Amino acid sequence: MSTKRRWALHGLGAQERHTFRGTFVREGTKPGYRGPERTLLLRDVIEATSREVVTEHLWFNFTKGFQAIEPLAEGDVIQFDARVSQYERGYQGHNWERAIENPVETDYKLSRPTRISKP
């Protein structure tokens, strides 16, 4: 995903929490130290006050807050508060060919979701 689509997140800043809404798409898994960890995918994530789309999709860990509103069905709208944080994405190893194909760039995400609900 291009970072251009997440510049709206950068504009919100990381100093305060904001309220967001996204549409649940599906669950997934990612590798973890103790085995696979549950994740969930939200699409069309908007900032609730301005109703501005801040990103077309975001993956989240399936934390206790999300587990508390189970069961989730595709199309459910989920509201939550979160902070904007930045991270580096791309290949960060020593193979220069892979580094050229997948360069490191700064991207933005929503972290530490709280007050999770289905409005």
Q: What is the pLDDT of residues 60-112, one digit of tens each?
A: 999 999 999 989 999 999 999 999 988 888 888 888 888 888 888 888 899 99
What is the band of 41 on the pLDDT scale with cuts at 50, 70, 90?
very high
> How many domains does the chain contain in total?
1
In a domain, 119, yes or no: no
- The tokens describing 29, both together, are 């898994």
In a domain, 92, yes or no: yes
Q: Are 70 and 57 in contact (CB under 8 A)?
A: no
Domain with 33, as residue range(s), is: 3-112
Q: Quickly count: other Cβ atoms within 10 Å of residue 18's Cβ.
A: 18
- The tokens describing 70, both together, are 């189970």
* Per-residue confidence (pLDDT) for residue 1, from 0 to 100: 41
Question: Which amino acid appears at position 97 of this protein?
Answer: E
- pLDDT, averaged across the chain: 88
In a domain, 117, yes or no: no
In a domain, 73, yes or no: yes
In a domain, 52, yes or no: yes
What is the band of 10 on the pLDDT scale with cuts at 50, 70, 90?
low
Kindly report the CATH number assigned to the domain that includes residue 51.
Answer: 2.40.50
Average pLDDT over residues 35-46: 95
In a domain, 67, yes or no: yes
Q: Which residues of 31-46 are buried (b: 16+ CB within 10 A; e: fewer)?
A: eeeeeeeeebbbeebb
